Structure 1
Amino acid sequence: MIKKTENRKIKLVGITGRMGSGKSLFSSFLKKKGIPVYYSDRRGKILMNQIILIKKNIIKYFGKDSYKRNKINRFYLSEIVFQNPIALKLLCSIVHPWVSLDFKQWMFSVSIQKKIMYVVKESALLFESGSYQECDFVITITSSKKNMIERIIKRDNLNENQITYRLKNQISDKKREKKSNIIIKNYLSTHHLQKEAEKTHKMLKKLIT
């Protein structure tokens, strides 16, 4: 049972899940309800291309192949960090401080808007980065391995073996669930996930008001 949090103007809801779980889609349904959503992973990729200091440090530790035509080489970097937890922590330590600052600037920009009860921070690395500690509520989206693999194959240029290996090196659903307030099981249709988002939105409104 979720308890009401202390009185604060705007609550922060963290949404996370393993790759292909459907967390971005779930967040998009809340966005359609008028809830501001900060997509941490997308912003992180943008910042890796924009911030010179990030570029320098990534090239320093991961090599010149980390960038192609002055843009982050996602495939090359992913092959390294998803095979080595230490490498993933190093990459997070380079990028996360900038994402954190970018999020604070975004949070300030949305805080001046009226009638916003809560905002969403969507992040695959919500627990790895420690960002979950800033959240009033944490939602974990789970799905079956089969469904996640099918979604990722459609979305990314990866084969099943590559996807399976990366999923193994991400925090398990069990560990995520222990630190989460709400668990959403995305095993059925997109329509079902949308209904879950609507139910969650109503629940959060009741808890916050």
Structure 2
Amino acid sequence: MKFFLIGITGKMGSGKSLLSSFLKKKGIPVYSSDERGKILMNQTKIIKKNIIKHFGKDSYKKEKINKTYLSEIVFKNPIALKLLCSIVHPWISIDFKNWIFYVQKKALYVIKESAILFESGSYKECDFIINITSPIEKIIERIIKRDNLSENQIVNRLKNQISNKKRKEKSHLIINNYSSEMYLEKKADRIHELFENLYKHQYGKRR
């Protein structure tokens, strides 16, 4: 299989999912680690067993992951967050490899979107990494609308995510998302053009 693996990451509320959605509209396969992680936490028995073992029975409510309860624990404690990642990420890694193998055989490039691309170590698999940044006030505004969290809750969660400085050191492209959705859509156009041209240069004509 010949394709480029592009990692898209950024702090919560930065706009990484929006950028990914614009690329998906162009027919580019997008794997959302965050979304798949939620599904796996709900469906994989061994994940459920280990989460309950370490974080308690309240981690699940009516057989579904209790996101509010679990978030309050892991986003206040970096050690707890690392433990949760160690439980879930190996299964995300397997799920991603299966997704690549069975679904994406004809892709020029694929997107792996993850808030913890660096923390999980999966950035090492990527050929190119895009980091999205955004002003803190914009992030807070977006997350309040999206998740109905308080400003204090958002700030506490952001503190436990890897810093933008460290993200930038390991990224190939930085996108500062402080404008409109149209701005990100134009960025998606340029990214798509870039990787189409890179594919043509490295592997020859488009499949």
Q: Give 1:84 deviation, angstroms.
A: 0.8
| Unaligned 5+ runs, structure 1 | 1-7
> After the TM superposition, which residues 173-192 of structure 1 pair with which residues of structure 2 at under 5 Å, given as runs?
173-192=164-183
Aligned equivalent of 1:124? 115
TM-score, length-scaled by structure 1: 0.93
Q: Does 2:147 match 1:156?
A: yes
TM-score, length-scaled by structure 2: 0.94
Q: Does 2:15 match 1:35?
A: no
Partner Cα distance (1:66, 1:51) in 2: 14
Q: State the SS of the aligned residue for 2:110.
A: strand
Aligned equivalent of 1:91? 84
Match of 1:106 among 79, 95, 99: 99
Q: State the SS of the aligned residue for 2:161.
A: coil
Aligned equivalent of 1:81? 74
Match of 1:142 among 133, 137, 150: 133
Q: State the SS of the aligned residue for 1:57.
A: helix
The number of equivalent residue pairs is 200
Match of 2:38 among 41, 45, 66: 45
> Is the contact between residue 137 and residue 181 of structure 1 (CA under 8 Å) also seen in structure 2?
yes
Partner Cα distance (2:198, 2:155) in 1: 37
Q: Give 1:203 deviation, angstroms.
A: 1.5
Partner Cα distance (2:167, 2:192) in 1: 20
Percent identical among aligned pairs is 69
Partner Cα distance (1:101, 1:132) in 2: 15
Instruction: Give every structure 1 segment of 4 or more consecutive aligned residues whose post-TM-superposition deviation is greater than 6 Å.
Output: none
Partner Cα distance (1:174, 1:80) in 2: 25
> Is the contact between residue 10 and residue 111 of structure 1 (CA under 8 Å) also seen in structure 2?
no
User: What letter corresponds to residue 24 of structure 1 in structure 2?
Assistant: S
Aligned equivalent of 1:198? 189
Aligned equivalent of 1:5? none
Q: Give 1:131 deviation, angstroms.
A: 0.3
> Is the contact between residue 16 and residue 122 of structure 1 (CA under 8 Å) also seen in structure 2?
yes
Match of 2:47 among 41, 49, 54: 54
User: What letter corresponds to residue 101 of structure 2 in structure 1?
Assistant: F
User: How much is the aligned-residue C-alpha RMSD, in angstroms?
Assistant: 1.0
